[in-house]
Amino acid sequence: AMGVDAWSLANHFSQMRQVQGFEINGNTGSLTANPDCVINRKLSWLQYQQGQVVPAS
């Protein structure tokens, strides 16, 4: 999953630098970059519910 996110970051890095608030919904969470080009990740919490993986409320 991290490799897929790294590939997405590489392909969208110029957009992330130019558009404030640009976000990629990656496999490991939501990815953003600050003005210093530091990548931040917000984890998506999930839970099992009746045999299905669903977003945690």
Question: Tens of pLDDT along 8-57?
Answer: 999 998 898 888 889 999 988 999 998 888 999 999 888 999 999 998 87
- Token pair listed for 2: 């991290």
Residue 42's identity, in one-letter code, is K
Domain extents in the chain? 2-55
Which pTM value belongs to this model? 0.71
| pLDDT score at 7 | 95
Please name the residue ranges forming H helices in the chain. Answer: 2-18
| pLDDT score at 41 | 94
- Token pair listed for 29: 């969470």
Q: What is the pLDDT confidence band of residue 1, given thresholds at 50, 70 and 90?
A: confident
Whether residue 53 contacts residue 44, with contact meaning beta carbons closer than 8 Å, is answered with no
**pLDDT above 90 (res 2):** no
